[in-house]
Amino acid sequence: MTFTRIKTLMDNLRGNKEFFGWIIAIVVATVGAMGWFSQNFITIARGSEMMSRVQNADIRLTEEIKALAGEVKASNSLLMTHMEKEKLNTVMLEIRRTEAEIFQIEQSIAANGTNTQAAERLRLLKADYKDLELKRDCIINKNPLCD
């Protein structure tokens, strides 16, 4: 627009009241449009702010996941220790039971003499006893080859 057009426009406006009315209307429309654009379109500043928030949230989430993984690992370790203790207790109980049975058969043989059934049962019990001792040692030494 040239200066004469502006002057003509001002002349057509009938007084200062109408001129300032137009100025206020333009300012209000501009502020309203900027507000609408700001609300509906992501500006570069808002976009970078949102990106930094997302990255910070990702970092916090990663730290929480790492902490949780550490807790799960510790829990699994405790659980495995408990399971191994139960296995060991079971094997130790079987060893004691086998020892008692071997002792009873040996006492029976000593008192009554030997027979084939008692001798065979004693042989099987001694083999089981050796297997149980091996299993006990594997559990204590945490040897994965014994499974």
What DSSP string describes 39-76? Answer: HHS--HHHHHHHHHHHHHHHHHHHHHHHHHHHHHHHHH
User: Three-state SS across 99-129?
Assistant: HHHHHHHHHHHHHHCCCHHHHHHHHHHHHHH
Find all residues with CB under 8 Å of 101, minimum gap 6, and list them.
125
What local confidence, expressed as pLDDT, does residue 14 receive? 60
Taking 80 as the threshold, does the pLDDT of residue 44 lie above it? no
Nearest-angstrom CA–CA distance, 143 and 95: 19
For residues 43 and 89, the model is more confident at 89
The stretch 101-117 carries a mean pLDDT of: 87
The pTM of this model reads: 0.50
State the CB neighbour count (10 A cutoff) for residue 98.
20
